A and B are shown apart, each in its own frame.
Chain A
Amino acid sequence: MTSAIETEGLTKDYGQHRGLFGLNLEVVQGEAFGYIGPNGAGKTTTLRLLMDLLRPDSGRASILGMDTQHDGVKIRALTGYLPGESPEYPNHTGERILDLLAHLRGGVDPKRVTDLAKRFDLDLHRKYRTYSHGNKQKVWLIQAFMHDPQLLFLDEPTTGLDPLMQQIFRDLVKEARERGATVFLSSHVLPEVQEICDRIGVVHDGMLRQVGTMEELRISHIRRIDATVRNAIDSEHFAKIPGVADVVVSDHRLRCTVTGAMEPLLDALVPAVVVSLDSTEMSLEEIFLSQYGQPAQP
């Protein structure tokens, strides 16, 4: 499989431990890659480095086989980018903004823009300043999708969109993938990442901590256990079992989480005589919160 995105030791240091450090990542063509992490983790910095809007202090990145610094323009011609922060064009209509951007890019089919505006229910002939937050976001989504790019960089794409429009967005991503496009999606909306993406990367404090499919993340990670037992149990005993955490014991009930293999916990429960046992996979959001619940270092 050919790489769509490849980085080696990509670093941008803003000082005070802020930025992105030593990012090694590969995303193959046609893949949808979710990029999650707390605020200030380095997600937007990564996207801006890949778009060549920022220059790295060290390391390199290539997109579709081209170096981001040497072939930035060629790369951006093949890419759709949704910025994390909405640009301000208060006195322009939506049509005028898209007109400028379509002309700069070239090769945009006006019917495609009209079609996207209809699907997003966006009146193109109103001033940008009169748009709601969600409607402003639609302008930038349209410009990201209007040329049917081979690669989509989407930074918090559903910000401000209502559930109906979020579904339209997911449909567009699906259509893009059907024609072979690669999607790199940075988001806080973890169910959305869970639904759209094949693989997920977790970035924290400027470093990529984990990469894997949903299954891999779930298997290597956490299950929630809720057990009712007949005999009295000692919470400290359970807390010492490898992989067991967040132990709460009340009356004859044990609640905890287990990372990795379940056998040690089940063995420990046998003497207490298990009456009932529920084991549920944690959602991506719960995994994220359990691992990175602490805010990022300033």
Chain B
Amino acid sequence: MDSQRSRSLIPWAVRSHLGGMLAIGLGFGVSVAVLGPSYVAAAKAIAGGLQALATAALPVARSFQFLTGPIDRLDTVGGYLSYKIFPDIALLVAIYAAIEGAQVLRGSEGRGVYELWFAAGRSRNAIFRDRVAGFLIALSVIVALIFILTVIGGALSGVQFALEALGQCVALGFVGLVSFAIGLLVSQFLHAARSASGVTAGYLVASFFIANMYDSLGPLTFLRYLSPFYYYLYGRTLAGTTFDVPAMATLVIAALAAGAAAWWLYLRRDIGGVSLARVHRTRPADFTFRPSAIWRRTLWLNWIAEQPAGIGAWVLAIATFTAAEAAVVPSAIRIVDDSSGTLGKFLQSHGTFLTTDQYLSFFLTFTAFLVAGFAVAQVARWASDATQHRNDVVLAQAVSMGRLLVERIVSLLVLAALIGLAVVGGTYIGALIGGYSVDAVGLIRTFFDVVLLSFAIAGIGLLAVTILRSAAATGVTGGLLIACFLLTTFAGLLTWPSWASRISVFDAYGSPYLSLPLTGSLIYLAVLGIGGTAAAYLAMRRGMRIVA
């Protein structure tokens, strides 16, 4: 009877990672391949070449150490890539791996897919093995793509560093591996894959900063040992670091330990249940319906009330990040002042001086990426409202399509205001820690710019959800934002015309703490928000697809 052996789930599992695998591998790979030659081209344009460029850039780079980790060998293409883009890649690959780790078992379980697999004769062990193997293949493809494109970028820059690139990409893969295993482990304790993803991603972001700035954590420096990125720093072979086998072995052992613990728990818990589940005492059934006073009377309030943990995590993460940015401003300025003075002299020769406001304003521009992440998370919620048929039952209660859209925007604006307050509060606390005062008007400008940026992204997302009515809408919105980020990055490096970068919402966001963005930029963001909402409404009226 065994003439037809049951097929492995691995090909299916790999297919489920296909989009993310190619987007991340090719997206980051191409970015690395473009950055190297761009750096060499910029160096050729100044006297002294790479050495002079590295000397000029080093003080500024060091002031950003909390975002990039140690900076070495900026006079080489490998050192530049290791500082400029590999920290971002390591963090984002880790977050992607953590989300996949939370999804591979818990996500399929939540959708009821497992019952079918069990019914088809698959064992728990087989499902675990095939799903893990599927991700390992996907991760290998990501690492391979980044490696190949890094080598190609090196060749285009006139350097050969295949072995160094291999070392760094392997370290990157190990960070992904351990992040995946942690996501897998955390998902054994939580019912929702989204919650497990959030918890793991939060841990990874915090550990990223800990690894980069542990030497300023005082008695808490030991926390670095809990950060995968700390061990990754010993694999930055592109920057001349020797590939540290014990550090890499630590990552692999941690991944194996977390993976084994997840496997052990998975085999022992209920399908659809959680490890360490609380046993509720039996109580008599309660049929009584008690309407709430006010909290659930409007959709927007209800949507906000639905996500207290998610909103809390975003607010906390953004406030912490902003506080860290603001707190390091004085030390960043000191680094610049204590350096060879190239930058300081350059600024002085132009009659300007670095001020805390300038530095703070520059740092706060990074907050835009977190705000974008928050807005995309809201778009994902809207998409799931459509795919999980919640909109149908809401509209059946005499709610118009227009009201549904307006309440979506209202909920987004209220949450964006909360995020804006998190930015303002974080900045204020950071400035207190750093021992300097902040400009109240600058903070107000920043607050409104955060809300405006969120509104613009929401307009794009609302239209995408209305037309696509699936999780693809989240991908499209996220993809457009990544394109905006790359546009902002490369337009400056490659000296493209200024209008090219103005398409980017991040460029339009500007640097609001120091000065109000250009009127055109403000109008552009407002038009995206209003236009996207209006287009979504028209798409609904025309019945393009069902409802957002």
Contact = CB atoms under 8 A, between A and B. Distances in A.
Given A54-B546, A118-B287, A87 B392 contact: yes
Contacts of B392: 48, 53, 81, 83, 85, 87
Nearest to B286: A125
A104 B394 contact: yes
A178 to B, nearest CB: 23
Contacts of B302: 100
B291 A102 contact: yes
Contacts of A77: 398
Interface string B507-548: 000000000000000000000000000000000011100110
Contacts of A102: 291
A76 interface: yes
Contact of B393 (A87, A95, A114): A87
B296 A96 contact: yes
Nearest to B384: A88
A140 B287 contact: no
Given A85-B389, A88-B390, A76 B398 contact: yes
Contacts, number: 110
Nearest to B541: A55
Contacts of A104: 299, 394, 397-399
Interface string B271-286: 0000000000000011
A163 B138 CA distance: 49
A97 to B, nearest CB: 9
Residue with the greatest number of chain B CB neighbours at <10 A, chosen from A55, A73, A88, A100? A100
Interface residues of A, number: 47
B306 interface: yes
A203 interface: no
Contacts of A89: 390
B192 interface: yes
A240 interface: no
Nearest to A111: B289
B163 to A, nearest CB: 49
B285 A121 contact: yes
Nearest to A79: B396
Contacts of A88: 388-390
Interface in B298-319: 298-299, 302, 306
Contacts of B287: 114, 117-118, 121-124
Contacts of B401: 72
A86 B286 CA distance: 22
Contacts of A124: 286-289
Contacts of A83: 389, 392-393, 396
Contacts of A129: 191
A99 B398 contact: no
A87 B388 CA distance: 5
Interface in B377-397: 388-390, 392-397
B297 interface: yes
A76 B306 contact: no
A104 B298 CA distance: 7
Contacts of A101: 393-394, 397
Nearest to B387: A88
A152 to B, nearest CB: 11
Contact of B398 (A85, A95, A105, A143): A105
B292 A99 contact: yes
A91 B394 contact: no
B290 A110 contact: yes
A53 B398 contact: no
Contacts of A56: 543
A122 B285 CA distance: 8
A53 B395 contact: yes
A83 B292 CA distance: 25
Interface in B343-377: none
A83 B541 CA distance: 21
B536 to A, nearest CB: 14
Residue with the greatest number of chain A CB neighbours at <10 A, chosen from B191, B390, B396, B400? B396
A103 B305 CA distance: 15
Contacts of B393: 81, 83, 87, 101, 140, 143
A51 interface: yes
Contacts of A110: 289-291
For the complex of A and B, the 4 pairs showing the least CB-CB separation, nearest first, are A55-B543, A77-B398, A113-B289, A123-B285
Interface of B: 110, 191-192, 285-292, 296-299, 302, 306, 388-390, 392-401, 541-543, 546-547
29 contacts: A51-B395, A51-B396, A52-B395, A53-B392, A76-B396, A76-B397, A81-B392, A81-B396, A83-B392, A86-B389, A87-B393, A91-B191, A91-B306, A95-B289, A96-B296, A98-B289, A100-B299, A103-B296, A104-B398, A105-B397, A110-B291, A117-B288, A121-B287, A123-B286, A123-B287, A124-B286, A124-B289, A140-B393, A143-B396
